[in-house]
Structure 1
């Protein structure tokens, strides 16, 4: 439902209204004024909401503390990763060395067996 009103404007306001009507393609001044009022109300509400959304900036000490804590967490994670990698590498080296020693012992035992067999063969002659 619309209300009829008689309004009068100064020249500057009337020129602004006419320019706004051309830009927004309004045919009647009442529609343009209604739109301007809606935009004004929206801006007013946004300004009232803005202070609620502003988050206080933390102090330098708080930021340094938070950054230090994050760095410590990252370093701890990296230290655990490196320790686990080192442990896996150590275990792999141990397994490899055990395999090598077993192979060497098998070869030495075989050579000793050959030597003993050769010695016994010569002794039997």
Structure 2
């Protein structure tokens, strides 16, 4: 059900209404005014709901505490990562050194074998 009213607007308001009607493709000013009123009412309801939904801003001490805790967590993670990397590098170096010692030992054993063979060959002559 619609109500019929006689309204008067100043020039700026009338220009705004005409522009709004073109943008929203309304044929009658009453429909445009009804939409504007509905949008205004929706905005007012949102403004009333917003304050209860706003989360209070934490104090500086709380923010500093939270940041410090996060930094401590990150530092602990990095420390564990570096410790694991150091352990892996140390184990890799141990294996490499053991392999080198084993190669040297095998070469020395081979040279001793060649030396013993040469001595035995001379002895047999």
Question: Shorter-chain TM-score category?
Answer: 0.7 to 0.9
TM-aligned CA deviation for residue 49 of structure 1: 1.5
Find out whether 1:100 has 2:100 as its counterpart: yes
Match of 1:18 in 2: 14
Is 90-99 or 35-44 further displaced after alignment? 35-44
| Alignment size in residue pairs | 120
Question: Deviation above 6 Å: which 4+ runs of structure 1?
Answer: none
Match of 2:63 in 1: 63
**How many Å separate the matches in 2 of 1:111 and 1:122?**
16
TM-aligned CA deviation for residue 73 of structure 1: 1.0
Residue 105 of structure 1 aligns to a residue whose secondary structure is helix
Which runs of 5 or more structure 2 residues have no equivalent in the other structure? Answer: none
Q: How does 1:5-84 map to 2 (within 5 A)?
A: 6-7=5-6, 14-15=9-10, 16-25=12-21, 28-84=28-84
CA RMSD, 1 decimal: 2.1
Residue 50 of structure 2 aligns to a residue whose secondary structure is helix
Which runs of 5 or more structure 1 residues have no equivalent in the other structure? Answer: none
Is 14-23 or 44-53 further displaced after alignment? 14-23
**How many Å separate the matches in 1 of 2:98 and 2:73?**
38
TM-aligned CA deviation for residue 91 of structure 1: 1.3
Match of 1:121 in 2: 121
**How many Å separate the matches in 2 of 1:28 and 1:92?**
83
Residue 99 of structure 1 aligns to a residue whose secondary structure is helix
